């Protein structure tokens, strides 16, 4: 199976850009002066994003709700850029949900799929019925989202495969996401030579 073709999709209120080299276009899509949430590994892969940020916060290991709760008092700005894996993206979504009207731009460095959903824990101290947030901008460069060392990438791919299998079984399933899930499952399996 060949690699997925690059695309640019306006999905309601959000923009999704996918393809090799899209990271180079990130500054044109998100501008500058944003708050960057990232990890050391991710920041090292995209130093221009740190340079253009008004503030950079490293997201350490732990639970999303606790990390977001600890960071909440230190986060400023209207646009939160999440450069990292699912934990980093979910922390950005939790922070945006805690103090609206913030927006999230997600640039994944793993195969978690967190950039595509409004599924996340809320920051500690935020009501559980508060509206959830999905990223307004998604910039997915496959070279970056598959950049983990192979053992970690395999674990991330299995996590993505799990989401592809369970997605069509949820009450929110519909034909387009179901087709995307089947295609994702095929690409993940082919990507590891199975």
Q: CB of 6 within 8 A of CB of 127?
A: no
C-alpha of 49 from chain center: 15
Mean pLDDT value across residues 27-40 = 96
Q: What gap in Å lies between CA 67 and CA 50, rounded to an integer?
A: 20
Report residue 126's pLDDT band, with 50, 70 and 90 as the boundaries: very high
Count of the separate structural domains present in the chain? 2
Q: Mean pLDDT, the chain, as a whole number? A: 92
Find the domain containing 187 and state its range.
Answer: 148-194
Residues 52 and 115 grouped into a single domain: yes
Pick from 40-49, 58-67, 179-188: least confident = 179-188
What is the edge-to-edge ordering of all strands in the sheet holding 7-11?
7-11, 14-18, 137-140, 103-108, 79-84, 35-38, 55-58
Residues 109 and 161 grouped into a single domain: no
Residues 99 and 152 grouped into a single domain: no
Which pLDDT value is given to residue 3? 67
Residues 120 and 172 grouped into a single domain: no
The CATH number covering residue 124 comes to 3.40.50.1970
Report residue 159's pLDDT band, with 50, 70 and 90 as the boundaries: confident
Report residue 184's pLDDT band, with 50, 70 and 90 as the boundaries: confident
Which pLDDT value is given to residue 190? 84
Residues 79 and 165 grouped into a single domain: no
Residues 69 and 152 grouped into a single domain: no
Residues 101 and 160 grouped into a single domain: no
Residues 181 and 118 grouped into a single domain: no
Which pLDDT value is given to residue 2? 60
Is the bond preceding residue 154 a cis peptide, omega within 30 degrees?
Answer: no
Residues 137 and 165 grouped into a single domain: no
State the pTM of this model. Answer: 0.91
Residues 45 and 138 grouped into a single domain: yes
DSSP string, 111-175: S--GGG----PPPTTS-TTSPP---SEEEE-HHHHT-S-HHHHHHHHHHHHHHHHHGGGSTT--H
């Amino acid at each position: 199976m060949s690699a997925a073709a690059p695309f640019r999709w306006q999905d309601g209120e959000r923009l999704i850009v996918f393809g090799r080299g899209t990271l180079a276009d990130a500054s044109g899509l998100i501008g500058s002066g944003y708050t960057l949430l990232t990890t050391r590994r991710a920041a090292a892969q995209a130093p221009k994003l740190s340079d253009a940020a008004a503030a950079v916060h490293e997201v350490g290991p732990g639970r999303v709700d606790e990390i977001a709760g600890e960071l909440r008092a230190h986060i400023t700005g209207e646009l939160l850029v999440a450069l990292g894996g699912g934990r980093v993206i979910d922390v950005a979504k939790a922070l945006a949900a805690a103090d609206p009207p913030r927006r999230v731009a997600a640039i994944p460095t793993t195969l978690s799929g967190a950039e595509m959903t409004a599924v996340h824990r809320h920051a500690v101290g935020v009501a559980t019925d508060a509206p959830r947030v999905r990223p307004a901008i998604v910039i997915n460069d496959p070279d970056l989202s598959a950049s983990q060392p192979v053992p970690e990438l395999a674990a991330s791919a299995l996590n993505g495969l799990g989401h592809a299998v369970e997605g069509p079984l949820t009450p929110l399933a519909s034909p387009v996401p179901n087709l995307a899930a089947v295609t994702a499952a095929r690409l993940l399996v082919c990507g590891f030579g199975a």
